[in-house]
Amino acid sequence: MKKRIAIDMDEVMADAVSKHLELFNRDYQENLTVADLQGKKLRDLRPHLAEQISAYFDQDSFFRDLKVMEDSQEVIRELSEHYEIFIATAAMEVPNSFADKYAWLREHFPFLNDMNFVFCGNKSIIHADYLIDDNVKHFPNFCGQGILFTAPHNIHETGYVRVNNWKEVRAYFLS
C-alpha cells in the first residue's frame, strides 16, 4: 500500500501572496513586496486595513488564476507515481473559493484524481502519512508528519521539517 501525502494549495501549489500584493498595491498605491512580508502577513503591515485586506479573498475568481508554484506540477506528478496524493485545502475559510479552486486544480494538475481533492477547515481529519503545508496551525492535531513549506509568513517558524521549494520536496520524498 502506498503512503499518502496530503498537500495544501495556497502558498504551496498556488501563489496567492503575489496576487494579493498586486491587488493591494494597485488599490492603495503602495509598492510592498514579498520581502516586506518576511515573518508577517499583509494585515500585520497595515492593521488599519485588515478588513479590506481579507476581503480580497472573497472576490469572485481570486483563486481561479493564481500562478502555479515553480516545479510543483512536475514534482507532484513524480510523487504520484510512488505515493497516494491528496490535495487538502482549508477552503472553509473562504467558502466561495470552492469552484475556483476545483477548476484551478483540474486545469493545472489534470493528472491528479479529483476524488482526492479535500475541501476542509480543520486538516486533522486528513488521514495521511505526510502533510505539506505553509501553516503550522494544521500540524499539532495531524496524525502524520507535518512538513512546513516555506512562505513569507512562516519564515521564523522552527521545530518542523521544512522544505523551501518543490525541488527540496522531491529530494525529501524521492531521494
CATH number of the domain residue 98 falls in: 3.40.50.1000
Question: Do 119 and 41 sit in the same domain of this protein?
Answer: no
User: pLDDT at position 60, please?
Assistant: 85
User: pLDDT at position 92, please?
Assistant: 87
DSSP 129: S
Does the pTM surpass 0.75? The reply is yes
Question: Do 113 and 27 sit in the same domain of this protein?
Answer: no
Question: Do 96 and 38 sit in the same domain of this protein?
Answer: no
Domain containing residue 42: 16-58
Rounded distance between C-alpha atoms, residue 49 and residue 62, angstroms: 18
8 is catalytic: yes
Per-residue pLDDT 10s for the chain (175 aa) are 999 999 999 999 999 999 999 999 999 999 999 999 999 999 999 999 999 999 999 998 999 999 999 999 999 999 999 999 999 998 888 988 999 999 999 999 999 999 999 999 899 999 999 999 999 999 999 999 999 999 999 999 999 999 999 999 999 999 8
Question: Do 78 and 160 sit in the same domain of this protein?
Answer: yes
Rounded distance between C-alpha atoms, residue 76 and residue 20, angstroms: 25
Q: Number of folded domains in the chain?
A: 2
Q: Give whole-number Cα distances, 87 to 106, 109, 155, in Å.
A: 12, 10, 23
Q: Which one, of 130, 132, 131, 134, lies nearest residue 155 by Cα?
A: 134
Question: Do 31 and 71 sit in the same domain of this protein?
Answer: no
Q: Give me the catalytic one of 8, 15, 133, 134.
A: 8
User: pLDDT at position 127, please?
Assistant: 95
Q: Give me the catalytic one of 10, 15, 133, 134.
A: 10
Question: Do 23 and 9 sit in the same domain of this protein?
Answer: no
10 is catalytic: yes
164 C-beta neighbours (distance < 10 Å), count: 12
Q: Which one, of 156, 137, 136, 155, lies nearest residue 147 by Cα?
A: 136
**C-alpha cell of 148?**
512546513
Question: Do 25 and 105 sit in the same domain of this protein?
Answer: no
Question: Do 39 and 93 sit in the same domain of this protein?
Answer: no
Question: Do 131 and 165 sit in the same domain of this protein?
Answer: yes
State the Cα angle at 41 between 39 and 47, rounded to 5°.
120
